[in-house]
Amino acid sequence: MPARAGIGLAGGFLPPLVALAIAAVVGDLLILSFGEAPSTVFRLLVEGTWGNAYGIGQVLYKTTTLACTGLAFALAGRAGLFNVGAEGQLAAGGFGAALLGMLLPAGTPALVAVPLCLLAAMLVGAGVGAVPGALRAKFGASEVIVTIMLNFIALAFLNWIVSSKLHVPETLHTPPIVAGMMPRFADSFAAFRGSAANFTIVFAVLAAVASWWYLFRTRAGYELRAVGLQPDAAEYGGVRVPRVLLVTMCLSGALAGLGGMNFVLGYKGYYEEGFAGGAGFLGIAVALVGRNHPFGILGAALLFATLSQGGLAVNAIVPKQLTDILTAVVILAVATAVPEVQKQLRAAAANVTAAFYRDARKGVS
């Protein structure tokens, strides 16, 4: 038993550590190519992220959104689904929270307004996630293709609503939210003044804990994982596979929608076109590096947020894109070293290929 535990521990932590080591070596070589000392650049990166309260606040702010989109992808992945639609679900959730925040009366207590806006964000995100879930469950449509296309539809629809109905003149954002704003760290701790860190991160951590409990401590989570491992065997055992697929995509969309609160209610106080900024797609990398485990995803989100903020800290002496390259190296290293990641990527590719082949056959017939 101890030997097995040791193997499990090594299998869980060794690949990400190896990926970080490879990224560090690549980073050293790139820094040297710019004529700078690696020790100086990495020192600036650490000081600009974890060396002061502002940097820590920015890292935690970025971690919040990435944790939510990473959890969204991971939950779907556990059921054998490849949700590429977190970008649209994130934006839709943010819009739902902003809309309710604008409609609530100005004097609504925060203890009432914040939970209502949180619920709105998750419900709207779940609604967007339900579309590919229903199509997959009822017609066997590829959730990869549907979620990719739905991103464009959702974002374009939201941008149309804002630009034609709700925008402040000469801007691309809605009017300010009246009620439901999430308290910021700076309101309680003066050292965080200027940073975007807010208490949405508490809900992101709670979402990770709830996801872990759901996956590994409930019957529904067991059925979800069984469908992801072997859907035919799960169905033979009495699991209603289509129902599991639909519910999973709804929960996945809800987790992504929760991330929209971070920007809308925790930072700006309004919905703004393009606020997602690729966080939905980066959430895929966060989930893969975190091994699709809720607590691993929190660590991976913290890592990618640190690299993102660190790029701004070192931009004075090396290009900010250096940290983007390091992020890509970490992702590629993990994707190469971890068998489960390889299996999931192959399954997604096979899913897309099968969908195209099936559609081609229908066209010929």
Structure letter (DSSP) for residue 190 = G
Q: Which CATH number fits domain 52-364: 1.10.3470, 3.30.50, 2.30.33, 1.20.120?
A: 1.10.3470
**Highest mean pLDDT, choosing among 178-192, 245-259, 317-331:** 245-259
Residue with tokens 């709105």: 120
Beta strand residue intervals within the chain, DSSP E = none
Mean pLDDT for all residues in the chain: 89
pLDDT tens profile 95-145: 999 999 999 998 899 999 999 999 999 999 999 999 999 999 999 999 999
In sequence order, the 6+-apart residues with CB closer than 8 A to the CB of 120 are 96, 97, 99, 100
Whether the Cβ atoms of residue 306 and residue 23 lie closer than 8 Å to each other: no
| Buried/exposed code over 75-84 (b: 16+ C-beta within 10 A; e: otherwise) | bbbbbbbbbb
Question: Cα separation of 198 and 177, whole Å?
Answer: 16
Cβ(53)–Cβ(191) below 8 Å: yes
Residue 364 has pLDDT above 80, yes or no: no
Q: What digits encode the pLDDT tens for the residues 257-310?
A: 999 999 999 999 999 988 988 899 999 999 988 989 999 999 999 999 999 999
Q: What b/e readout covers 123-132, taking b as 16+ CB neighbours within 10 angstroms? A: bbbbbbbbbb
- pTM of the predicted model, to two decimals? 0.90
How does residue 14 score in pLDDT terms, banded at 50, 70 and 90?
low
CB atoms inside a 10 Å sphere around CB 225: 16
Looking at residue 21, what is its pLDDT?
A: 82
> Where do the structural domains in the chain lie, given as residue ranges?
52-364
| SS3 (DSSP) at 198 | strand
What is the band of 44 on the pLDDT scale with cuts at 50, 70, 90? Answer: very high
